[in-house]
Amino acid sequence: MPPALLAALSGLALGLSLIVAIGSQNAFVLRQGLLAQRTGAVVLVCVLSDAVLIAAGVAGAGAVVRSAPGVLDVVRFAGAAFLAAYGVLAARRALHPQALDPRGGGAPASLAATVGTALALTWLNPHVYLDTVVLLGSIAQNHPGRQWWFAAGAALGSALWFTALGYGAALLRPLFARPRAWQVLDALIALVMFTLAASLLLSTV
Please, which pLDDT band fits residue 100 given cuts at 50, 70 and 90?
A: very low
20-34 pLDDT, tens digit per residue, is 776 889 999 999 999
Most confident residue range from 3-17, 59-73, 87-101, 109-123: 109-123
Amino acid at 147: Q
- 79 DSSP 8-state letter: H
Q: What's the CA gap between 24 and 61, in Å, rounded?
A: 24
Share of the chain above pLDDT 70, in %: 90
pLDDT: which is higher, 106 or 52: 52
Q: What's the CA gap between 20 and 148, in Å, rounded?
A: 22
Q: What is the mean pLDDT of residues 123-129?
A: 86
Q: What's the CA gap between 134 and 148, in Å, rounded?
A: 15
The predicted pLDDT at position 11 comes to 87
How many domains does the chain fold into? 1
DSSP 3-state assignment of 3? helix
- Assess whether pLDDT exceeds 60 at residue 81: yes
Q: What's the domain range around 108?
A: 3-202
The predicted pLDDT at position 205 comes to 56
CA-to-CA dists, residue 134 to 57, 59, 100, 144, angstroms:
6, 11, 39, 17
Q: What's the CA gap between 1 and 154, in Å, rounded?
A: 18
- Assess whether pLDDT exceeds 50 at residue 199: yes
The predicted pLDDT at position 182 comes to 85
